[in-house]
Amino acid sequence: MTTSPLTRRRLLTGSLAATAAAAVPAPAVAMLSGMVPRWPEAAPVIGTLGRYTARHEDTLLDVARRFGLGYTEMVAANRGVDPWLPGEGTELVLPTAHLLPDADREGLVLNLADQRVYRFRDGVAVASHPVGIGRQGWSTPTGRTEIVAKTKNPVWRPPESIREENPDLPKVVPAGDDNPLGHYKLDLGWPTYLFHGTNMPWGIGRRVSHGCVRLYPEDIARFFDQVAVGTPVQVVDQPAKLGWVGGTLLLEVHPNQEQASQLARTGSFDPAVVSDLPGRVVAHAQARDATIDWPTVDRVMHERRGIPEPVARPERRS
C-alpha cells in the first residue's frame, strides 16, 4: 500500500513547519560536487555532494532513502524546504559527502551526531549508512564494543521496560515483515543493544529507537553479509568534524542530539555552540600554517547543515 505525502505527514508528526534560510553556499557545492570523481585514498572523507530536482510526488523522506540518506540530515541540508511537499522542480542538496569521525579507522564507527555508521577495511572507509538511534531517555551509549552474534529473521522479545511503556506489545513478535527488528540483527557486546533492520523505514535518520541502531531494510541486508562476528565497533558523538582534503581544511557540523530531535519535530532548533571547536580549528590550521576563515567557522557552526565547507587554507608564500 502506498500513502500520499500528506498522509505520511499526519502519520508521523501531525504537521511540520519549515523555516526559511539561506541556500547552501556555492563554495561547498563546487568543491564537493561530482566534479571531483575520486578523493585521494587517505582523504578523511567519503562520498561527494550531489543535487536533485524534486518531482511532484517526492517528499524529503522519499529522496533521502533513494540516495542513502537519513531524514534529519536531509532536512538540515535543505532548510526552508517543506519536507512533505518540496514541490516539483525544487532543487535539493544531497548531503552525500561526509568527513570521517575522529576515531580509529577499523571495523565500524557509529557517529550519533550525524546518525551514520561508517565501515572500514584496511584503514579505508568503504561504506557509510544512515541510521536511526535512541531517543531521549533511551540514548544509544558511546564507547567501544564488538559484534558478538548475527541472526537472520530474528524473533523479537520486547524487554519488560518497553512493555511497561507499551502494554499492548506481545511478549514475543515472530519473524516476518511486521517484526520491528526487520529481517536481520547483529548483537553488540553491550547487552540488549543491536544493529538491526526495521519495519518502519521512515524512522531512519531520527531519534526514535529504544537505544538500538536501525538501518534501512536494503542497507541491513548488505551490512549483515559484510560485517563479521568479532568486528570492533566504536560509538562516538561528534557534531563537528574537521579534516584536510586537497590542501583545504573542511568543517562539517551537524545538529547535536537535542537539536536533531527539535529539527525533526518542528523544522528548527535552538542555537548552541561547540565549545571545543575554536581550539580544534586552531590546532588543525597551525599544523599547516593556514589562515582561518573565522566568519565561515561561526556560520557553519550555527547553521549545522551537515555539509563540509572550506574554513582554512595554507598561506601562500611569495
Catalytic residue list: 196, 212
Closest CA to 11 of 228, 200, 269, 256: 200
Closest CA to 299 of 276, 277, 314, 266: 277
Closest CA to 243 of 10, 7, 32: 32
Cell (9 digits) for 99: 568527513
Closest CA to 132 of 78, 207, 72, 73: 207
**For residues 178 and 176, what is the distance between their CA atoms, to the nearest angstrom?**
6
Count CB atoms within 10 A of the CB of residue 243.
18
**For residues 25 and 310, what is the distance between their CA atoms, to the nearest angstrom?**
10
**For residues 148 and 200, what is the distance between their CA atoms, to the nearest angstrom?**
25
Residue with cell 560536487: 33
* Contact status, residue 284 vs residue 312, Cβ threshold 8 Å: yes
**For residues 208 and 211, what is the distance between their CA atoms, to the nearest angstrom?**
8
- How far is CA 65 from each of CA 129, 135, 213, 217, rounded to the nearest angstrom? 10, 21, 16, 10
CA angle 289, 302, 298 (to 5 degrees): 30
